[in-house]
Structure formats: structure tokens, C-alpha cells
């Protein structure tokens, strides 16, 4: 995405709590959104972005529900470049599943997804786990949060034409919860629990997402310029965090 051409957006600041965990605290047209996601991504600048031997620290997550399940090696991750042409330094890996979430492989259509698709900035991992935790508390009986592709370990372009973005650890695909509560991606809009899906959209907006792309065939809504309809998002939403 070319920030130079980007209209100014509300600036979100993340509140930082003690204990080292980050809590969260202009109209764009669809054409622009399509262009943003669909941009070609030549060779990403990868200097210094190779996956490193882990040099982070294990830390209990502050989330009650996930604590017994999640062992995350938190690293001081750094996004490089743009979501459509970028890399990820010291990516933090999402565990395959936890009490409040599971990973979903969109290629093999099964859970868990391979670890090579589960890297992001530590900030995005914290946001996703926090939303999963709060969503579970607010919606007893809801299926766990279905987390799809994040980024590759060093970022860069996914093989094939699967994603144009997801290159620098700031993008997450979240599958809409199903009415039948099955823990897999929905096939059709009629499979989606739209009330729960809207709740999730609202939570990611409140968590500071710059964009939440949703399916044109869904009735999901949100602030103008942030929640936008985008083709091929009728079974999942795409959440993007700001770079800093």
C-alpha cells in the first residue's frame, strides 16, 4: 500500500500497560481498497529480515483464559515496508491453538495451520489474543476465534497468488463464527453467525485496526473508512493494524 496516496486516517495510539504487554486502548473507496490489497509485490526488501534464532523471552500472557494454554515466545518484532511489499523482523509466532482460539489453514482447509503461516508482530499477536479472550468472556458458548493467515516467519510474499498483503506482520485473517458452532471456516454467508461476527468486527475496530475488510455479501458494518467491503471476504474479515 502506498501511504503517500493515503488519505489521512484517525490516528490510533496503543496504550501500554505495565508488565510489558500492550493493551489496546476521509472516506476510502472500495476501488482504493482493492488496489491496496491487489497491488503487485515485486521482490520485498529483505535486508536483515531473515528469521533469526529466537532471542525473545517467554512470558505468561496476561489473559486468564489463555494463560494455561499459550506459551508465546514474545519478541520485539518489527514490521518493515508495506503490507503489500515488506518483511518482518523478529516475528512472534501464534500458537496452533488455545482455550479461546484455533488456527485455520485456508489451503488445506483444516486446523491447525502450519507454523509458517502464523507469524506477526508481537503487537498483532497480543491484539488477536486479547480480542479472543474478551470475545469468549462476552459470548459464552461461542466457538473459539478462528485465526487464518498472518505472515510468514520473515514476512514477504506468500507463495502463489493467495495474498498480496500479509507481508509485514500487520495483517490477520479472522474467519467469521459459524451458526452451527463448528470450528472451521464458513462456506456461505448463510453459515455465519452475523451477530457474533459483528461483535468481532466492533472489537477489532476498538482495538485500533486501521482497516477491517468484510464481505460485500455480509451486512457487517463499522466506521466509514475503517470497515470496508472487499470482494473475497465473505467468509473471513481481514484486520490490519497501523505500523506503529
How many Å apart are CA 115 and CA 91, to the nearest integer?
A: 12
Q: H or E stretch including 199?
A: helix 194-206
Q: Is residue 163 within 8 Å of 148, Cβ to Cβ?
A: no
Q: Is residue 26 within 8 Å of 14, Cβ to Cβ?
A: no
Candidate ranges 16-24, 44-52, 170-178, 216-224; the one touching Zn ion (CB under 5 A): 170-178
Q: Does 173 bind Zn ion (CB under 5 A)?
A: yes
Residue from the set 238, 239, 241, 243 that interacts with Zn ion by CB under 5 A: 238
Question: How many amino acids of this chain bind Zn ion (CB under 5 A)?
Answer: 2
Q: What is the closest distance, in whole angstroms, from the C-beta atom of residue 236 to Zn ion in the complex?
A: 7
Q: Does 126 bind Zn ion (CB under 5 A)?
A: no
Candidate ranges 57-65, 173-181, 193-201, 215-223; the one touching Zn ion (CB under 5 A): 173-181
Q: What is the closest distance, in whole angstroms, from the C-beta atom of residue 166 to Zn ion in the complex?
A: 6
- Other C-beta atoms within 10 Å of 180: how many? 10
Place of cell 501500554: 16
Q: Is residue 126 within 8 Å of 21, Cβ to Cβ?
A: yes
- Other C-beta atoms within 10 Å of 37: how many? 23
Q: What is the closest distance, in whole angstroms, from the C-beta atom of residue 20 to Zn ion in the complex?
A: 28
How many Å apart are CA 200 and CA 237, to the nearest integer?
A: 9
Q: What is the closest distance, in whole angstroms, from the C-beta atom of residue 233 to Zn ion in the complex?
A: 8
**Phi–psi pair at 8, nearest 5 degrees:** -65, 140
Q: Does 234 bind Zn ion (CB under 5 A)?
A: no
With respect to Zn ion, which residue has the nearer C-beta, 78 or 238? Answer: 238
Candidate ranges 16-24, 87-95, 108-116, 231-239; the one touching Zn ion (CB under 5 A): 231-239
Residues near Zn ion (CB under 5 A):
173, 238
Amino acid at each position: 500500500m502506498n501511504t503517500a496516496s493515503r488519505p489521512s486516517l484517525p490516528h490510533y495510539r496503543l496504550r501500554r500497560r505495565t508488565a510489558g504487554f500492550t493493551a489496546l486502548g476521509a472516506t476510502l473507496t472500495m476501488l482504493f481498497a482493492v488496489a491496496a490489497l491487489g497491488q503487485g509485490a515485486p521482490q520485498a526488501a529483505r535486508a536483515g529480515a531473515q528469521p533469526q534464532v529466537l532471542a525473545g523471552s517467554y512470558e505468561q500472557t496476561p489473559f486468564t483464559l489463555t494463560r494455561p494454554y499459550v506459551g508465546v515466545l514474545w519478541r520485539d518484532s518489527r514490521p518493515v515496508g508495506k503490507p503489500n511489499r515488506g518483511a518482518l523482523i523478529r516475528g512472534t509466532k501464534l500458537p496452533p491453538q488455545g482455550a479461546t482460539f484455533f488456527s485455520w489453514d485456508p489451503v488445506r482447509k483444516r486446523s491447525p495451520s502450519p507454523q509458517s503461516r502464523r507469524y506477526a508482530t508481537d503487537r498483532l499477536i497480543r491484539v488477536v489474543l486479547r480480542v479472543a479472550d474478551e470475545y469468549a468472556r462476552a459470548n459464552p458458548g461461542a466457538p473459539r476465534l478462528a485465526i487464518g493467515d498472518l505472515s510468514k516467519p520473515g514476512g514477504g510474499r506468500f507463495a502463489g497468488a493467495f495474498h498480496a498483503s500479509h507481508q509485514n506482520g500487520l495483517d490477520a485473517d479472522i474467519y467469521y463464527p459459524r451458526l452451527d458452532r463448528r470450528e472451521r471456516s464458513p462456506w456461505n454467508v448463510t453459515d455465519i453467525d452475523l451477530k457474533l461476527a459483528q461483535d468481532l468486527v466492533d472489537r477489532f475496530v476498538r482495538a485500533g485496526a486501521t482497516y477491517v475488510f468484510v464481505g460485500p455479501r455480509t451486512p457487517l458494518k463499522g466506521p466509514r473508512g475503517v470497515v470496508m467491503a472487499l470482494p473475497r471476504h465473505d467468509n473471513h474479515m481481514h484486520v490490519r493494524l497501523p505500523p506503529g
